[in-house]
């Protein structure tokens, strides 16, 4: 039998590592309730930072959403997710039908934005927009996000499409389905899970992106949340802690939900 026991030194090691990982994140949340305008000195509990956050005209502009950083970040994440998920999924289906040479070339080019450091992708897109005289704005940001998200969707969806039994689609054709009908009623339902996974990656990548957005849109004054955080790094506004805490809670909630869902599934399997 394999020993499953962890000894005390291992437990101490684990505690230290997880303290290292989580202490900063917890401190952000704690200081979002701080009465003092300080990130290092505690003065008392308050919800004021949250009220300030939701009344901040730069982050939340309810009358003119085009000027609102939070709204525009979500909007760009949504649109780029939608576009990249559709493009990547359709390309994954097309790719299984193409010749091996084309498949290999496509996969190699597709991997360029995934493996190359973000800063290099950022410079190359900046040069492109400069050469085409497209002024930096939320539009260039959106195009850039589509450019780096689509390859991730393709590599997430493609293995699933490849594993499908081609006979099922053929059967649909034999039974008289049109290509569109076969696509929507036969192929897409089978790869639904992979498409959702690809879309989740695309959304997070867009929502969290900093370097590429900063390079292609930073000079225009159009900001997403990351650019806002970065440009305010030297004047630490406590409302950023409140904003961070809300984002942390949404992500934390989603992860815990997924965790208990998969746990339930494994228990059912057992």
Query: Per-residue string for binding with other proteins, 51-90, x by CB under 8 A?
Result: -----------------------------------xxx-x
Q: Which is nearer to other proteins, 68 or 151 (CB)?
A: 151
Instruction: Decide if residue 13 touches other proteins (CB under 8 A).
Output: yes
CA distances from 233 to 60, 77, 185, 218, 238 (A): 19, 23, 50, 15, 11
Sites for other proteins among residues 166-195 (CB under 8 A): 169-170, 173-174, 179, 182-183
Residue 264: Cβ-neighbour burial (10 angstroms; 0-12, 13-18, 19+): exposed
Is the Cβ of residue 43 or residue 62 nearer to other proteins in the bound state? 43
Task: Report the first-to-last Cα separation within the chain, whole angstroms.
Answer: 21
The rounded distance, in Å, linking the Cα atoms of 241 and 28 is 6
Distance CA 12, CA 45 (A): 32
Assess 255 for contact with other proteins (CB under 8 A).
yes
Which parts of 19-48 interact with other proteins (CB under 8 A)? Answer: 20-21, 23-25, 27-28, 31, 39-40
| Window 234-253: residues binding other proteins (CB under 8 A) | 234, 236, 240, 244, 247-248, 251-252
Minimum CB distance to other proteins smaller for 62 or for 104: 104
Q: Quick one: 36 or 255, whose CB is closer to other proteins?
A: 255
Measured from the CB atom, is 64 or 180 closer to other proteins? 180
- List the one residue from 150, 156, 206, 213 that touches other proteins (CB under 8 A): 150
How would you classify residue 19: left for phi > 0, otherwise alpha for psi between -120 and 50, otherwise beta? alpha
List the one residue out of 99, 92, 104, 102 whose CA is nearest residue 183: 92
Q: Does residue 186 contact residue 124 with C-beta atoms inside 8 Å?
A: no
Minimum distance from residue 203 beta carbon to other proteins (Å): 11
* Residue list 205-224, contact with other proteins (CB under 8 A): 207-208, 210-211, 214-215, 218-219
Contact between 269 and other proteins (CB under 8 A)?
no
Residue list 89-148, contact with other proteins (CB under 8 A): 90-91, 93-98, 106, 109-110, 112-113, 116-121, 123-128, 130-133, 143-144, 146-147
Q: Measured from the CB of residue 193, what is the shortest distance to other proteins in angstroms?
A: 18
Closest approach of other proteins to the CB of residue 75, in Å: 17
Applying CB under 8 A, the site for other proteins has a residue count of 93
221: left (phi over 0), alpha (psi -120 to 50) or beta: left
Degrees, nearest 5: CA angle 268-269-270 = 90
- CA nearest to 24, candidates 40, 12, 8: 40
DSSP string, 192-244: HHHHHHHHHHHHHHHHH--HHHHHHHGGGT---HHHHHHHTTTS--HHHHHHH
Q: How far apart are CA 92 and CA 87, in angstroms?
A: 9
Nearer to other proteins, 74 or 86 (CB): 86
């Amino acid at each position: 039998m394999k020993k499953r026991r962890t000894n005390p030194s291992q437990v101490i090691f684990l505690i230290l590592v997880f303290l290292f990982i989580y202490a900063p994140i917890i401190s952000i949340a704690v200081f979002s309730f701080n009465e003092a305008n300080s990130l290092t000195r505690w003065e008392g509990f308050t919800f004021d930072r949250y009220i300030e956050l939701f009344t901040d005209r730069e982050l939340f502009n309810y009358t003119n959403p085009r000027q609102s950083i939070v709204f525009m970040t979500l909007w760009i994440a949504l649109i780029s997710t939608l576009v990249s998920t559709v493009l990547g999924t359709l390309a994954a289906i097309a790719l299984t039908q193409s010749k091996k040479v084309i498949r290999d070339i496509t996969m190699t080019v597709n991997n360029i934005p995934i493996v190359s450091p973000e800063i290099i992708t950022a410079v190359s897109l900046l040069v492109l927009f400069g050469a085409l005289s497209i002024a930096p704005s939320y539009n260039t940001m959106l195009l850039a996000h589509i450019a780096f998200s689509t390859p991730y969707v393709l590599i997430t969806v493609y293995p699933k499409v490849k594993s499908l039994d081609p006979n099922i689609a053929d059967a649909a054709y034999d039974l008289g389905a049109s290509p569109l009908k076969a696509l929507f009623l036969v192929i897409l339902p089978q790869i639904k899970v992979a498409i959702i996974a690809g879309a989740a990656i695309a959304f997070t990548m867009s929502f969290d992106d900093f370097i590429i957005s900063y390079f292609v849109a930073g000079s225009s004054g159009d900001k997403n949340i990351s650019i806002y955080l970065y440009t305010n790094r030297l004047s630490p506004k406590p409302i950023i802690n409140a904003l961070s805490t809300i984002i942390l809670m949404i992500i934390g909630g989603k992860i815990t939900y997924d965790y208990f869902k998969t746990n339930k599934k494994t228990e059912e399997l057992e």
